[in-house]
Amino acid sequence: MRRLLRIAFYGAGALVATLSLAPGATLPATSIGDKMEHAIAYAVLGLLGATSSGRGTMRTILGLAAFGLIIEGLQTFSPGRSPDLLDAVADAIGAGLGGAAAIVLRRMTWLLIDKDTAGATPCRARVAGGDLQAACGSPAAASSSSHKRASCVSN
């Protein structure tokens, strides 16, 4: 599942870059406004990136903000387009909202799993000092509490 989300993230990123750098005359008109388009596009990227990345939500948000700044700078070379700092701000806000949505979805998923299994998740067993080898299949995960937490999150 994570791999499919990652592919969708890169595909959506390529689409955003292509549309952002296309000549202004070739883009269809929309009724929601330029800044809202930026916020929505980067919110989708933030959601996909944060749910598919193992490197952290903040890193994804900051990477997308940098991506937005670079795209805005490259618009200088696209006919009929010009860079706008407020577009980059809308990109960063959208990425932050998408990242926040990913965090909420991740926590909701953990709560649903915990509720459905009456608290008997492998994460709970590891944190409570249960049978680590049976929970994760690796004796290396039992070496320290930080490893317990990291292996819990990655499953």
Q: pLDDT by residue (tens digit) across 80-127?
A: 899 999 999 999 999 999 999 999 998 888 777 666 665 555 555 444
Residue found under tokens 């292509």 = 18
CA atoms within 13 A on the CB side of 144: 3
Q: What is the mean pLDDT of the chain?
A: 80
The domain spans of the chain are 2-116, 120-155
- Assess contact for 45 and 98: CB atoms under 8 A: yes
Where would I find the beta strands (DSSP E) of 64-139? none
Distance CA 86, CA 21 (A): 16
C-beta of residue 37 within 8 angstroms of C-beta of residue 44: no
Q: Helices 2-21 and 34-52, interaxial angle, to 10°?
A: 150
With pLDDT > 70 as the criterion, what percentage of the chain qualifies?
72
Cβ proximity of 132 and 141 under 8 Å: yes
What average pLDDT score do residues 128-133 get? 46
Q: Which of the four pLDDT bands, split at 50, 70 and 90, describes residue 151? A: very low
**pLDDT above 60 for 131:** no
Q: What pLDDT digit, counting tens, does each position of 34-50 carry? A: 899 999 999 999 999 99
